Structure 1
């Protein structure tokens, strides 16, 4: 039986829409199945913009931000007209959504189908939806993920919000003011800082020793110090044992402390949206509720690929789009491309921004001999642009080999989102750290920190060579005297 499509994309995420458009550029015949698209991340970024405007202290009437007294007036003397602010956020989402709207997709040649369905293997592999069988030469799972709700006594009965619906709370006549966030993902940090800048009281509970287990401890501690200075109350290595509703308030037990709040946000792990797809009959295997995929993004059925947060891991748009390009090319042509995340940067949209690419110091030390690794760091406080703009909180940390190969970088500070892209490009093009030291960026600019950090390589190498030479001299001196 002939196939109707080159690829059938099981969507429900922005990654699915991006993949569909990318496939049309490769002249493929594409079907995109959608039940819903989660725009929560875009809402969050729009609200984060409002928070940044509020922090600046100016009057942005067009955004619904006006100078009034707030509960957190000493730190942030701006409050938000939430009705106007949500209209602004909705406008941002609508503008971004329009770029990959069903109309745009259809105009590009994508057959957009709305509804839910599942794989069928009778008589051949197909996807059944709306009493119709979609037959594709290949298939792509891009159905996204949803919050994995922890099993905590009383949580379900008390009620809670998730990252997918948190912004609905601000449509209420009186939005919640006192929050507790059960964190563990980048967005939990972003939301905590956004809420506190908008005048809310925020408690952030993290089960790890540091805010994020995937970041160097020294960077994580610096970010934690910034959040605490902003007013976020942080509990690390604390477990939540129970939740109760008492007299209209929500109470949450964190370790030996009981916290009274208006609202609870669950922002822990995500789980893939795959339960209803009948993957077992299609030969797609799971391990601990996660898709088993290879480096080519194929599932255990070689005709079915996957991309985006349905795979697992943090939900970063640029990584999802990178995976979509790899998966689409492999699905439509020979499956020869492999994912390589070493040179793909990611960011946490905190203030200041935290970005990372490649290996951390701990990862590099596990992979290479310690004597081969040099750790270069430079702080924002010595950068002229940071002094001028009063943005001196931050650090640039490079992990390099003695030969100058860049293994990874972490930047916490203003303009980190732009700076990390330069490091990622240097790593992808095998540019050694000594060339970053010759960057000669515009003065003043935050890019100076790359030049200044890279300069540490030659200094450390020189000191290391001197130390090695002194050790050799001592060794031969000892040999000579021992022979005497």
Structure 2
């Protein structure tokens, strides 16, 4: 068995692992990257990239149905599900070279394509290597959670890991779970010509602002997606093409089943106990410095037990780059991390929701509301369905919730302000091109200041004095 001694060993070649490996190798640290599956991890191969590519195909189909108000005769599109999935694979293949083994070896990273397990507190083993490192970073991500429903293990079902290799369109897709993944795929498949039924044991989009979530759910239902909330799946049975769900509200039958019931950290087989790394079902326990109970071992991204987003893994990689490569104090924070759900309309959030802000700041928080119908570009494009809410405390935004077209793009402005502790005047002072949807952010800032300018007696008195006595 080949023995390798290195400065840094990273386990997992997803977003976080790749980002850290590239930085470390290019800055002179001896770096080993171990990956037993596909380079690029879940995001490239079975998550963000393929799902957004399929959503893009579905949007094209939906646009053909929605042209009447623009003077375009709507048509029911002829959809090739196989070709839509070919577009998905093309998107993956286009991006894959950026995450490839060859590219990272070109950067100076020693890439080992195998599964790794700790054999001690300062060593890991793969099939043919033993790796001793000064520091280890676990970046293994997460995997789909398969709930312990009776009969599920004996019934054919899909997860995001198997969905995108399908080429035959499901006649009736059943979806367990009305979270982001479940609803994104439900809407996309319905727009591509599938009948879709979503089963949710609790409340659909239960972690989001309920007012904004209701707008998303109303749209999906109006398009024909059936969403059954507060309905538990008690038993699953059937075979390929004929799936039967026994639920608390009756029997539901369909042709295919997608399980989108959340994700769990990928810690199996890592030998964390041998390495003295504390972990539980939520992942590896780390502090704000992302260090585990073994000071040599860090964890980033989904496996670290926090928010499960690709951009969080990338952020964690940046935090560790400062700490590991330069020896600088660096701590991960969470209050400035945005998230987005790519349904149509999109739903995005950064910082505190309205309920969270009111609970924390009580009466000292202001909630600014601006509907999309107040934005000229949205009116011109007939995309007035939506709303932005900004939570402000002492002149600084502490949260922003957006539902509507391009919400995932618009939330970036508020993420910038919150991350840097900027005040509302920063966006109020910004000049934006007209007409753009992004002006809705500035309109929110204007709404915040207008109440102070137009409804304050001393302002009117001052203006009156200036007009009277100053030439």
Fold equivalence (TM over 0.5): yes
Structure 1 pair 197–246 and aligned structure 2 pair: CA distance change class (3 A): same
Q: Does 1:40 align with 2:31?
A: no
Structure 1 pair 159–75 and aligned structure 2 pair: CA distance change class (3 A): farther
Structure 1 pair 75–218 and aligned structure 2 pair: CA distance change class (3 A): farther
Q: Output aligned runs, 1:116-265, within 5 Å.
A: 116-121=115-120, 125-169=122-166, 171-172=167-168, 175-209=169-203, 211-245=204-238, 249-265=242-258
CA distance in 2, matches of 1:118, 1:223: 43
Q: Cα distance, 1:463 vs. partner?
A: 9.4
Partner of 1:297: 290
Q: Cα distance, 1:77 vs. partner?
A: 1.4
Q: Cα distance, 1:82 vs. partner?
A: 3.0
Match of 2:396 among 389, 395, 405: 405
Q: Output aligned runs, 1:260-271, within 5 Å.
A: 260-271=253-264
CA distance in 2, matches of 1:389, 1:343: 31
Contact 1:10 1:16 in 2 (8 A): yes
CA distance in 2, matches of 1:247, 1:444: 50
Contact 2:158 2:258 in 1 (8 A): yes
Partner of 1:338: 331
Structure 1 pair 3–291 and aligned structure 2 pair: CA distance change class (3 A): same
Contact 1:18 1:100 in 2 (8 A): no
CA distance in 1, matches of 2:233, 2:79: 31
CA distance in 2, matches of 1:407, 1:247: 49
Which is worse superposed, 409-418 or 108-117? Answer: 409-418
Unaligned residue ranges in structure 2 (runs of 5+): 66-72, 458-471
Q: Cα distance, 1:248 vs. partner?
A: 5.4
Contact 1:118 1:277 in 2 (8 A): yes
Structure 1 pair 388–336 and aligned structure 2 pair: CA distance change class (3 A): same
User: What are the superposed Cα offsets for residues 8-54 of structure 1, whole Å, 9 maximum, x if unpaired?
Assistant: 01115233222211222332211010111331112111111111122
User: What are the superposed Cα offsets for residues 383-431 of structure 1, whole Å, 9 maximum, x if unpaired?
Assistant: 1101111111111110001x21110101111222222111111222322
Contact 1:7 1:332 in 2 (8 A): no
Match of 1:328 among 303, 321, 327: 321
Aligned length: 442
CA distance in 2, matches of 1:288, 1:167: 27
User: What are the superposed Cα offsets for residues 97-132 of structure 1, whole Å, 9 maximum, x if unpaired?
Assistant: 1111000000000100011131112xx621111232
Q: Output aligned runs, 1:427-442, within 5 Å.
A: 427-442=418-433
Structure 1 pair 247–259 and aligned structure 2 pair: CA distance change class (3 A): same
Contact 1:76 1:197 in 2 (8 A): no
Q: Cα distance, 1:280 vs. partner?
A: 0.6
CA distance in 2, matches of 1:461, 1:238: 47
Structure 1 pair 435–383 and aligned structure 2 pair: CA distance change class (3 A): same
Partner of 2:382: 390
Q: Does 1:352 align with 2:358?
A: no
Structure 1 pair 212–168 and aligned structure 2 pair: CA distance change class (3 A): same
User: What are the superposed Cα offsets for residues 450-481 of structure 1, whole Å, 9 maximum, x if unpaired?
Assistant: 12222222345579989xxxxxxxxxxxxxxx
The 3-state SS of whatever aligns with 1:301 is coil
Q: Cα distance, 1:230 vs. partner?
A: 1.9
Which is worse superposed, 409-418 or 457-466? Answer: 457-466
Match of 2:445 among 432, 449, 454: 454
The 3-state SS of whatever aligns with 1:342 is coil
Contact 1:126 1:133 in 2 (8 A): yes
Partner of 2:408: 417
Which is worse superposed, 237-246 or 223-232? Answer: 237-246
Contact 2:340 2:349 in 1 (8 A): yes
Partner of 2:467: none
Contact 1:303 1:331 in 2 (8 A): no
Contact 1:305 1:331 in 2 (8 A): no
Partner of 2:59: 52
Q: Cα distance, 1:289 vs. partner?
A: 5.1
Q: Output aligned runs, 1:87-102, within 5 Å.
A: 87-102=86-101
CA distance in 2, matches of 1:163, 1:297: 28
Structure 1 pair 445–75 and aligned structure 2 pair: CA distance change class (3 A): same
Q: Cα distance, 1:323 vs. partner?
A: 1.1
Q: Does 1:20 align with 2:27?
A: no
User: What are the superposed Cα offsets for residues 342-400 of structure 1, whole Å, 9 maximum, x if unpaired?
Assistant: 222221111122111111112222222x2101011111012110111111111111000
CA distance in 2, matches of 1:51, 1:347: 18
